[in-house]
Amino acid sequence: MAIPSTNILGVRVDLVDLPQTLQLIENFINSGRPHQIVVVNVSKIVKAQYDNFLKKIINDADLVGADGIPVVWMSKLFKPVIPGRVNGTDLMKALVATAAQKGYSVYFFGAEDDVINKVVSFYSKKYPALKIAGARNGYFSEDEEIDIVKQIRKSNADIMFVGFGSPKKEIFINKYKYQMKVPVIHGVGGSFDVVAGKTKRAPIWMQKYGLEWFFRILQEPKRMLKRYLVTNSLFIIFVIMKMLGIKKFK
């Protein structure tokens, strides 16, 4: 079934909110076929302007949600309007809860050993009925990839969360989606760090007003200040160019 979508600077974003996304994902699980879930924010859309392979992976994904509130806002300019945000961390938490309730098995892949162990411990205690198919850190060489893929396939997981950076996670999932044979593979980025308590999420009011990037800067000013100033500025420039018809975004 084709999911209706919009286009933000050449990047596809589906017209779904979080509840609709959860329903679609249940359909994906029931189908038994592998599906790649991508969520996009301002930073990822800007990266896609310089990385055509990343853009293709996003546009070819089985479901693309609007991770950031600014992406939802921008859809009001370009139409049609995205009905709501699909934050990657919120989606992961909701899927784990659904898995525990409905008997789906989950696999956690990414981050450091200490972090991934805390994630497994946290969810095992919160949901005693949760079936954890497996877990491993996100540090590996290219030579290890095939063995990792085989381990994931043998786990028979219904849902896998991949917690490493972009575009590494998108490329890995796209490359091995069919070999891993996991019905739903969701790239969650730094969500494991949040669950493990290594980093904090912005307060709800900051999330509502699209200020999570500012909260990240307050937490890690040296690492995040330049990154967000550059990506946010480029995003605004690209939007203005689009509105003025200076550049075609395909």
- Compute the distance between CA of residue 173 and CA of residue 177 in angstroms, rounded to an integer: 5
Distance of CA 191 to the CA centre of its chain: 9
- Compute the distance between CA of residue 221 and CA of residue 235 in angstroms, rounded to an integer: 20
- The answer to whether residue 27 scores a pLDDT higher than 80 is yes
The predicted structure's pLDDT at residue 85: 95
- The answer to whether residue 226 scores a pLDDT higher than 80 is no
Instruction: Give me the phi and psi of 8, to 5 degrees please.
Output: -115, 105
First and final CA of the chain: distance in angstroms? 23
Structure tokens at 131: 């079936």
pLDDT average, residue stretch 239-249 = 87
Nearest in space to 249 (alpha carbons), one of 81, 93, 55: 55
Structure tokens at 157: 């997981």
Nearest in space to 185 (alpha carbons), one of 213, 209, 152: 152
The predicted structure's pLDDT at residue 63: 98
- Compute the distance between CA of residue 35 and CA of residue 61 in angstroms, rounded to an integer: 8
Structural domain boundaries in the chain? 11-195, 204-242
Handedness of CA 211, 248, 5, 30 (dihedral sign): negative
pLDDT tens readout for residues 78-92: 889 999 999 999 999
Residue type, 31: S
Kindly give the interhelix angle for 42-50 and 69-78, rounded to the nearest 10 degrees. Answer: 70
pLDDT tens readout for residues 182-197: 999 999 989 999 999 9
The predicted structure's pLDDT at residue 1: 64
Tokens 């030579």, residue located: 143
pLDDT average, residue stretch 99-123 = 97
This model's pTM is above 0.75: yes
- The answer to whether residue 43 scores a pLDDT higher than 80 is yes
* Domain 11-195 sits in CATH 3.30.70: no
pLDDT tens readout for residues 153-165: 999 999 999 999 8
